[in-house]
Structure 1
Amino acid sequence: MASIFCVSFSFSQGEDIKKKVDSLKRTVISSITVDTLNLAAAHYYVGEWYRKATTKTDSANYHYYKAGKLYSLIGDKFGHASALYGIANIQRNEKDFMASEVNSIEAISMLEQLDQTYPVKELKSFLYNNLGILFNELEQYEQSIKYHKNALSIKQDLKGIDKFKIYNSLNNIGYVYKNIGKYKLALEYFNEILKDEQIIEENPEYYATTLANYAHTLYLSEQNDELPRLYFRALELAEREAPNGYVSIIINHYIAEYYNDSNQKTLAKKYAYRAKNISEQYHNDDLLKSLLLLSEIEEGENATSHLKAYIKLSDSLKKNERAIRNKSARIRFETDQIEKENIQIAKERAWLLVISIVIIIASFLLYVVVAQRNKNKELQFIQKQQETNEEIYNLMLSQNESIEEARTLEKKRISEELHDGVLGRLFGARLSLDSLNMNNTVEAIKTRGQYISELKNIEDDIRKVSHELNTDFVSGSGFIDIIKTLVETQTAVYGLNYNLEHDDDINWDSAGNKMKIHIYRIIQETLHNIYKHANATHVNISFRQKNNVICLSIIDDGDGFDVNKAKSGIGLKNINSRIKEINGTINITSEKNTGTTVIIEAPIP
């Protein structure tokens, strides 16, 4: 039978494949985005830790820069702006004011493009605050005040913001006004903070800083009535919270300056040296201020010594700042190089993704083709099996026709024998008895005895014919004859001797055609396996019936085999499949060089 195999995809199937591919692409891209976002966040928080908890600003700068690049890669403008803010803070502290300004403005521009949510506005206020501080350092005070007021305006517009963030902007504005000599305005901003009496309990150190700035503004405006009391009040609060802390440096500077102007040199030196000793533990900028202040308070060699130390430290700091700026530039350059490499890697990954998708689609198509081909083979096998079953069924029908014909002929023979033989003899005996009925001679009596004996013989003949009619001479022999024909044919072809035994009591008519067909095919397959694998010379086949269960045994004298290893063979799979169809069981035992025994049991439905 010829068959044509073809694979076709309908429009809907193509759409399903496209949807699956698109879904796969979205999953992969989403996975890449999530991984990039997590990596960017990791770099950002490492940078935060280095900036706030250590003095390793180069490490902080590196991680901020990496975070910014990764955030930019996935289009996260808020994350990118946050990283730029961290970099701008470091650059401001390292006196790289121009770079700090550029990064701050760039970050603000990014934030302006986003929805103005609470986090966006808050970060924008921090950036304006950074610009205000760096412009104060550049002595561009008007610009500094402008940015500080922008920060303050944003903070005041945020509901639920921490009040200390607002106070921070107020303090910064007051500090700038103090620097440009607008003392009245400075005092107003400081007073705005100090009138909150809860600050002393909530944050004494912050209150001390603000009070010190307020007192210093009074000093600069020559309002000395409350001085130095306010200085000492501020110093007391600062020392209580953080002995020898950073705030103490500023307050000791202010007190030393106050006593120096009052010509109280001893007290001025006391607080100036205290500021110097504390500042040596913190930041060089404050140490510079302490050395400069001591060069003004001291006299002679001591003043010269402090001035030289000031100059030396100042030069060293300038060199260090240049080195840090160069190092930052180098970090950016190296990071850019790494970024280029990452871009190349990303391209390679993109190609890998494309190739992977192509391979997946090709594999899917190959799977469809192979599955369809196997399905066609399976359908062809089933069709062939059905054709074979039909042939067996037709053979059985043909055999039954032969049996019915034999039955008819036998009945005709018996009928003729009854009519021509038994009935004729009865008619003759009846006429003879009629003629002797009235004769009582010895000879007549003897003759009647002979006729009576003949009647007995006729009775036996009738009983014999009746018995023959009552016994179906072909009962159960129809299917067995088919099996016998099969066995005779195959053993002759295979060169085997055989012995076929069966119980005459088996009612094959009640077994059903389905069971008989499967038994026929099982015997056929088993004989084929014996010929192909066993090298046997003789096979015994027997049918028995026990408790409405047909038992078929097939025994050969072949080489034998390992039953466990042979279970995966196609022949045994077919046999097992047929046994399953008739709810039967199979038991195979085999020994090397001895032979194999196959026992099959199937219940009669």
Structure 2
Amino acid sequence: MKLKVFYIVVCFSLNYSFSQESYNLKKIDSLKQFILNIQDSTLVGKTNYTIAEYYRKATPLTDSAFYYYHKAEKIFKKLNSKYELALTLYGIAVIQKNEKDFIGSEVSSVEALSLLEPLGETNEIIGSKAFIYNNLGIVFKELEQYDESVKYHTKALKLKERLKGDNKETINISKNNIGNTYKNAKQYGLAIEYYNQILGDEDFIKKNQSMYALVLDNYAHTLYLSNKHKQLPDLYFKALRISDSIEFKGYNSIIINQHIAEYYNDKGNKDLAKYYAYVAKNISEKYHNDDLLKSLLLLSKIEEGDMAAKHLKAYIHLSDSLQKNERTIRNKFARIRFETSQIEQENLQIAKERLWLLVISIVIIIASFLLYLVINQRNKNKELQFIQQQQETNEEIYNLMLSQNEKVEEARTLEKKRISEELHDGVLGRLFGTRLSLDSLNMSSTMEAIKTREQYIIELKTIEEDIRKVSHELNTDFVSGSGFIDIIRTLVETQSTVYNLIYTLEHDDLINWDEVSNKKKIHIYRIIQESLHNIYKHAQATKVSISFKLKNNVIWLTLIDNGAGFDVSKAKSGIGLKNMNSRIKEISGEINITSEKDTGTTVTIQVPLT
């Protein structure tokens, strides 16, 4: 919405600039930048058209105007915007007419009319048709097909008379054009008739002094051509005074000065003829166009001798230059059309390539995504399989521990039975026998009885020692929590035998393994198993030392080998160490590994007791 408001504001200011005939290239640059920032094709087309109109009406940059008209034409054709396309073709037709490409101008004009024909009879369309017919009238006058020129100018006039509002100026322009055509066709009476229609409208000529001077000069020149010199040269000078009063030595005064020079030359007044001819030449040199060409030709007729030859030579040189310039411009127009078409083809090719690139990119992205999903799914499956295997292994270990505990319990039961039998059959029987023997000696006080009692007392001490021994054995077997340690010992013995290792296993009796969760026991078991496997696989060790200690309610597990050692920083990514770290993390523990080359490795693990 903001972009459209910007477009309207700039176009309004440009239209104002046209009426003031001022250059406003900053606004044009804004519109060019505006085109780059919009996606609306209609707005892009209208912006190109506005830029072209500015270049045509307010600057001499004809090729720039044609370029932007052509860009607008391509867009409006794609959008099938007939009215906008017709206006664009009219702009192109005017440029072609000004550059003397009369056939091209005729074709563009006829094409514009064919687009407007089915669009109805609105005021805008009627006005557009009138301008196009007017352009065709000028084209055919330049081609010296005066009947066709009058026909088209008459059509333009009739359409202008149908327009709403005050259209006197544009109506009188058509009448002047018809008068000029009749004048060139040497039908002077008809020409004068149309000029008089304009000159007779006093209100109009008061408001439009510039056109008054132009029509008055045309009227005077027609009188001159028809040999009616009574009002001459007064009418010429009147037209010149009006022209000079509104524009200092302006463009319109060139033609008037040429007509005055022509008049005085015909009357034989060479000095005045030369004066006005040179005035016309000096003004027309600013424009370097057909008016300068006419001035040089006129001077070649007025002057004599070398000066006449000089002006004639300048005339021929300028004529050739203008013709070459016209051909160059026409070729440039053709090149603009060709290059625009070529650019469009290249853009289509680039668009196709971009489309293919986009399709290929999307296919690659989708394929990569699918490949990622497949690989990720495989990794997840492997991870799930690993977790499942871990669970199965943990279950096996747990079952092994349960089985071991059952064996320990069975051993304990047997041991209890053995101790019970030992106490019952051994200690208890001996106590009973000693008690009976002492009872039989209670009534005797002989030396022999005293010695016998002393022996029985010694026997009681021996029995006391036996009881203490049994008590100690009970304390050793059942208080130390040797069940889990027995499982670890079995693991270490089995692995050491397979791996040809000499081992030592130390454990702190203060550790109550019954308080340790099965999860921690399983992970400790697996860590020891993984460590022994790593020692065998990588360390090439012959000895391993394993110890359990309790410090501040934390179990310290230490494994020391005399292997080759390794670089701990490089080995952190190994699967074995990853597994160990993962297990330590699950039981909220810590692991520390130190190793030296050719010395060995020490693994220290800290696990909270509870």
Aligned partner of 1:418 in structure 2 is 423
- Offset of 1:386 from its aligned partner? 1.4
- On the 8 A contact 2:274/2:303 being kept in 1, the answer is no
Query: d(CA) in 1 for partners of 2:76 and 2:455?
Result: 131
- On the 8 A contact 2:157/2:175 being kept in 1, the answer is no
- Offset of 1:265 from its aligned partner? 8.1
Deviation string for 1:90-143 (max 9, x for gaps)?
4233122343454466578889999xxxxxx99998897566445434343564
Q: Secondary structure at the match of 1:505?
A: coil
Alignment of 1:216 onto 2:214: yes
Query: d(CA) in 1 for partners of 2:71 and 2:340?
Result: 7
- Offset of 1:381 from its aligned partner? 1.8
Higher relative contact order (CA 8 A, sep 6+): 1
Aligned partner of 2:540 in structure 1 is 535
- On the 8 A contact 2:109/2:136 being kept in 1, the answer is no
Alignment of 1:496 onto 2:501: yes
Deviation string for 1:241-266 (max 9, x for gaps)?
xxx7xxx1223433664687698987
More divergent stretch after superposition (373-382 vs 185-194) = 185-194
Deviation string for 1:64-103 (max 9, x for gaps)?
6577668878999999889767654542331223434544
Q: TM (normalized to structure 2)?
A: 0.69
Query: d(CA) in 2 for partners of 1:583 and 1:368?
Result: 33
- Offset of 1:561 from its aligned partner? 2.4
Aligned partner of 1:601 in structure 2 is 606
Alignment of 1:589 onto 2:594: yes
- Offset of 1:316 from its aligned partner? 4.9
- Offset of 1:528 from its aligned partner? 2.1
Query: d(CA) in 2 for partners of 1:372 and 1:270?
Result: 100
Deviation string for 1:233-291 (max 9, x for gaps)?
6535534xxxx7xxx12234336646876989877765553342232232413323444
Deviation string for 1:453-502 (max 9, x for gaps)?
54454445444444444454473322222222222222222223323233
Alignment of 1:238 onto 2:247: yes
Specify which of 250, 253, 258 is matched with residue 252 of structure 2. Answer: 250
Alignment of 1:138 onto 2:136: no
Within 5 Å, give how 1:53-452 maps onto structure 2.
57=62, 61=66, 65=70, 87-88=92-93, 90-103=95-108, 129=131, 132-133=134-135, 135-139=137-141, 140=149, 143=152, 172-181=170-179, 182-183=194-195, 186=198, 211-218=209-216, 220=218, 232=241, 235-239=244-248, 248-254=250-256, 257=259, 270=275, 272-291=277-296, 298=302, 310=315, 313-314=318-319, 316-318=321-323, 320-330=325-335, 332-333=337-338, 336=341, 339-340=344-345, 343-344=348-349, 346-437=351-442, 439=444, 444=449, 447-452=452-457
- On the 8 A contact 2:408/2:483 being kept in 1, the answer is yes
Query: d(CA) in 1 for partners of 2:350 and 2:296?
Result: 53
- Give ranges in structure 2 of 5+ residues lacking alignment: 1-35, 142-148, 180-193, 221-230
Pick closer, same or farther for the CA change 1:36–1:503 going to 2, 3 Å. farther
Between the aligned residues of both structures, percent identity stands at 62
More divergent stretch after superposition (393-402 vs 302-311) = 302-311
Query: d(CA) in 1 for partners of 2:40 and 2:491?
Result: 71
Pick closer, same or farther for the CA change 1:123–1:100 going to 2, 3 Å. farther
Aligned partner of 2:517 in structure 1 is 512
Q: Secondary structure at the match of 1:420?
A: helix
Q: Which has the larger radius of gyration?
A: 2
- Offset of 1:371 from its aligned partner? 2.6
- On the 8 A contact 2:554/2:607 being kept in 1, the answer is yes
Aligned partner of 1:544 in structure 2 is 549
Deviation string for 1:426-476 (max 9, x for gaps)?
333444444444555555555555545544544454444444444544733
Deviation string for 1:524-554 (max 9, x for gaps)?
2222222222222222222233222222222
Pick closer, same or farther for the CA change 1:563–1:292 going to 2, 3 Å. same
Query: d(CA) in 2 for partners of 1:413 and 1:484?
Result: 25
Residue type matched to 1:580 in 2? K
Query: d(CA) in 2 for partners of 1:311 and 1:443?
Result: 177
> How many aligned positions are there?
535
- On the 8 A contact 2:127/2:159 being kept in 1, the answer is yes
Query: d(CA) in 2 for partners of 1:536 and 1:598?
Result: 14
- On the 8 A contact 1:497/1:539 being kept in 2, the answer is yes
Specify which of 520, 526, 545 is matched with residue 521 of structure 1. Answer: 526
Residue type matched to 1:417 in 2? E
Query: d(CA) in 2 for partners of 1:110 and 1:470?
Result: 117
Query: d(CA) in 1 for partners of 2:504 and 2:43?
Result: 80
Pick closer, same or farther for the CA change 1:178–1:51 going to 2, 3 Å. closer
Pick closer, same or farther for the CA change 1:70–1:347 going to 2, 3 Å. farther
Q: Secondary structure at the match of 1:504?
A: coil
Residue type matched to 1:287 in 2? L
Specify which of 548, 554, 578 is matched with residue 559 of structure 2. Answer: 554
Query: d(CA) in 2 for partners of 1:45 and 1:232?
Result: 36
- Give ranges in structure 1 of 5+ residues lacking alignment: 1-30, 115-120, 158-166, 196-209
C-alpha RMSD of the superposition: 5.1
Query: d(CA) in 1 for partners of 2:292 and 2:518?
Result: 111
Pick closer, same or farther for the CA change 1:105–1:591 going to 2, 3 Å. farther
More divergent stretch after superposition (383-392 vs 455-464) = 455-464
Residue type matched to 2:502 in 1? N
Aligned partner of 2:23 in structure 1 is none
Pick closer, same or farther for the CA change 1:396–1:352 going to 2, 3 Å. same
- On the 8 A contact 2:150/2:178 being kept in 1, the answer is yes
Query: d(CA) in 1 for partners of 2:585 and 2:202?
Result: 96
Pick closer, same or farther for the CA change 1:476–1:349 going to 2, 3 Å. same
Q: Secondary structure at the match of 1:482?
A: helix
Aligned partner of 1:572 in structure 2 is 577
Q: Secondary structure at the match of 2:564?
A: coil
Q: Secondary structure at the match of 1:180?
A: helix
